Amino acid sequence: MPMRAPDFSWHFTPGNRFEGGGGQSGTMSLAPAGELWLPTGKVVACDPFVALGTGESEPFTADVAPGRYRVECAVAAISEPDEELAGEEPPHLRIAAARLVIKETHAVSWEIAHQAGQDPAELADDEFFAYGVDAGTGCFYDAACDESFPDCVGDKGPLWDAFGAGGDSYLGPHTITAPDTGHQLVAFMSGWGDGAYPTWVGRDADGAVTCFVTDFFVVPSADDVP
């Protein structure tokens, strides 16, 4: 069957701690991004440095009512065993997951987010749909906003400025607003960097969408922990 979603409530609970391979450990915290405006409710997730403004990133088939919805990132502070014992090096930070919250209710079921023409029933064991990352970043925005950030295309502009500000701010999340339209995107670093990362749709007991979560595979699954 297709890959199953992890327990994302664990990712977004500050103070939770995991043990990974090689003796690594991680402690979770939250980084809020404020609200993201979805003028049509058609959600796009992609690497903004690669796909923004190209028209190549289709929205997910699961859409929501237009509105403003909060975005937050689950941040893992990773420690190596030698560093922790010596007490010399601070933990390094990684964005473990990014969540676009539609309803403040618990998700009781999860489905892999997909675009028109993709059929989850055709996925083989442990397969998943994902967006490709080639610049170490991911984002959420509304499909209507795809062409609203021409100054973010290329090797300069507000996206570059946000991630290049120094300190831990390079991680994100960063909310970028187009001055002419008010259109927005929220961008963040993608876990360990480049790769292919799935987004999941959470639904409540009535089948309504509660959230979209992109998993960057920083928190190990139970099968990955020795």
pLDDT at 224 over 60: no
Give Cα 136 to chain centroid, integer Å. 12
Model pLDDT for residues 75-131, shown as the tens digit of each residue: 999 987 665 444 556 788 999 999 999 999 999 999 999 999 998 989 988 899 999
Cβ neighbors of 73 (< 8 A, separation 6 or more) are 30, 31, 33, 95, 96, 97, 98, 99, 171, 172, 173, 188
Give the pair of three-digit tokens for residue 141. 């925005």
pLDDT at 152 over 90: no
Q: What's the chain's average pLDDT? A: 88
Tokens standing for 84? Answer: 């922790």
- Is the dihedral angle over the CA atoms 53, 55, 61, 67 positive or is it negative? positive
Q: Per-residue pLDDT tens for 29-52? A: 999 999 999 999 999 999 999 988
Share of the chain above pLDDT 70, in %: 88
- What's the pLDDT band for 192 if we cut at 50, 70, 90? very high
Quote the pLDDT of residue 159. Answer: 85
Integer Cα distance of 191 and 213 in angstroms: 13
The 3-state DSSP class for residue 46 equals strand
What is the pLDDT averaged over residues 55-81?
Answer: 93
Say yes or no to pLDDT of 226 above 60: no
Question: Which of the four pLDDT bands, split at 50, 70 and 90, describes residue 213?
Answer: very high
Residue written as token pair 């607003």: 177
Question: For residue 136, what are the contacts with CB-CB under 8 A and spacing of at least 6?
Answer: 189, 190, 193, 194
pLDDT of residue 153: 65
Q: H or E segment at 160?
A: helix 158-163
In this prediction, residue 166 has a pLDDT band, given cuts at 50, 70 and 90, of low
Q: How many CA atoms lie within 13 A of 20 on its CB side?
A: 14
pLDDT band at 69 (very low <50, low <70, confident <90, very high): very high
**Contact between 47 and 138 (Cβ < 8 Å):** yes
Say yes or no to pLDDT of 136 above 70.
Answer: yes
The pTM of the full predicted model, rounded to 2 decimals, is 0.91
- Percentages of the chain per state (helix, strand, coil), in multiples of 5: 20, 35, 45
